[in-house]
Structures are given as C-alpha cells and as structure tokens.
Structure 1
C-alpha cells in the first residue's frame, strides 16, 4: 500500500466549490480515511454520477476507472490516502479529466499535467475541472457509457508506461502476495520458520509537502522500510 496525508485544496473553483483536480486511476484502487473537516467526493463510474459525503471517521474507497473529484466543504478537509499497488500511482497510473483535445495529444497532456508551483497546480486543476464539467453533463444525459471515450484516452496515455508498471508490480505487490502464499503453505504444512523473521520497522514522512492532484501531500517512502 501507498500512504499519504492530504490537505485538500481550498482554492475556489468556477462552479463555486473548493477542492482538487478530477482524475481517475487506470490500475489502482484508492481509499480515503477522513481525519479532519467536512466535504464530499463526486464520482463518475458504472453507476453514473454520485456524491459521497465526507466527515471525520468516514472510510470510502473506489476501484480503477472511477473519476473522482474531492470537494473541500469546510476549508480544512484532511484525508489519509491509501493507494493500492504502491509505486504504480507514482509511476503515472492516474489520468486527469482534461478536455478531449488535450487527452488525445500526449505532448499537450504532459505539458498541462506538469506542476512546478502553486500557479501551475491551480491551472492544472482548473483545466481538469473544465473537462470534468463537460464529462459529467454527458454522463448525466447519456449514462455511464459516456465514460468510454475518457477510458480509451486514459488507456492510450498510460500504455507506454505499462512495462514500467509491470516491473513495479512484479517487485512489489506481486512479490508480497507470493510471499504470503509461501507463508500460508508453510502454516498448512505445520512449519513456522518464517515467524522467526519477525521484525518491526518505522519510517518518517518525506520532509515538506508537494502539490498533488487533490491537495498538498505529505508522503512516506515505504520502500525504505518494507513491512515484510
């Protein structure tokens, strides 16, 4: 799992709300644990458009392909984010809901997605909201089938990165799952040698915050202190 703490952007948007950049993940599920504040997450998926309230203690998660937009209702919304397949999101598993012409041009997409400072983070968010507004209108009019174009564009954008994704998955999530299978096999056979390797590890967050898609991120590099 990837772990980060997210202070959702409180920047105003064209529709009068505050929050982050709508996007989807192509290979990873994502979960939220609300730590502070109130808000909501708007989603576009197989059930169409939905809005899910967020308050302290809420746990919410969604699968790949779900377009999600975080809305910071109280201005101080903070979330613990848990990402499946640690390493894949960092390798570029997410795609922003830019307008269709930007999504169709890898160079234009890369330029629009690049963030150097607050101004470029705001510009990226606003462009993603522009595409999201049109997409939501189509989904509410035509149903979930209206997401097909975005999903195809997202798959095309990440396709060149898939070999790297596979390497990350093989070394991380797949290796961990295989190790668990070996441990279960040992237990089924009455063996306990792996329990002698019991250990405790800890790591501190990477110093400073970074501009994420939905807010200011504090991240932990769990590869420096693997759990098992």
Structure 2
C-alpha cells in the first residue's frame, strides 16, 4: 500500500489486514495491476467497494493514481463511481485530480456524477485544477464539454453544443461522440418533434445523471440516495405500482 503523499488533496487511508481480500484488492488497485491478478481477485472478492480507514475504495485509489485499465476493470465488476469517502469525495474527484482523461471517461460512462461535492465544497473540477498535471488541461476541457452539452440540452438546442467538440480534436473525439450525444428535440423550424411530446425520452447525460425531457416545462434530474442494486423487495412482499400523475409512476 503506497504511503500518503503530500501532493494528494487527501491522505490515503490504510487497511487493517493487508493480507485480507480488501487489503489485496487495494494493493493491486493502487499498483494498477497486474490485470490478471486483479481480475482473478475480483472474481472471488465479496466487497468490490471495500473501504480503508479513510473510507476510500480500490476504485478511488486506482483513479487517484491514474490507472485506467484498473479503473475499467473495477467498474466492470460493479465498483461504484460515486462512492463517498469519509471526506465526501468520490472516485470521480480522484480521477479528475489524476489528470488522466481515459480514467475520467470510464467513470462518467459508468454513471459518475460531476455535481457531487466533498466536505470542503470542492467538485471534481476543483480537484482537477488542484492536480497540476500536464494532462489536467485535457480533463478540464472534457468536464467543460460535458457541462456545455447539458446546458445546450436544457436550452433546447442539440446543435449548439456540437461546436465544442472541436476542443478535443487532438485525440479520441470521435470515440467521445457516442457517449456525449444529445437527441434533436426540435425540428428545423424550432417546434418540438411530435414523437418527443408524446413520450419524453430518458437521456443519459454524461456526468449529470439521467435527464428526462418534459417539453416545454424543462428538464428534471436527480442524484440517487441509495444504490439501485440495494433496493430489493422483501420476500413475499406484493408488488405495488400506481400512477400518481400523468408523468409519475410510483413503484414499491
């Protein structure tokens, strides 16, 4: 387990038993692999989000140290990109600090949220600015692109955000387009498309949760308070689902 480094915005925690599964997981995640060893451990580890003394997970450590392949592997095995450490930070904060854009992309595609603050009120963007790595500029441009495209969606224009794609032409912009797309909500004359008004779409907005178009009222988005994987019905409990309004379906 690496010793805490002053250049990090937080101190790295420790694991009580380094030879236990969580200790091994944290050691491999912080080292970035090897991939086969991390994968073999993840196939038998019970807690992929097992915490150290600071509430940090293996995903947080690998993201903080910029290990893209380890981050991707941990996410594949169900690691939570929005897991809160004791200081309120998340793996998205850690990935932004690392200055590694592939790390941030993996986290955002897995549902990582750019709106969450740590206990000092800092967002992932604040951590990226504190990083000081040479790649931090690219991460900041990516975060600004995510924000600009969501802002364009809120204002009803999918085309307005497309110009900002030119900011990232130096590398994998075409690969990003699939994750950062915005549906055309308007016809050329500015009127809402008929199919959109009948059935508001659910839109995955990279870094900003799940958006629902409610034309012409605007957009709704939220931060889940509980992991959907933990919302399980009690044994033998009947399923109760009902409509509370024309746009709200309540499910137990």
Name the TM-score, length of structure 2 as normaliser: 0.24
Name the TM-score, length of structure 1 as normaliser: 0.26
Instruction: Compare CA radii of gyration and give the structure with the larger one.
Output: 2
Structure in which a larger fraction of residues adopt strand: 1
Greater relative contact order (Cα < 8 A, sep 6+): 1
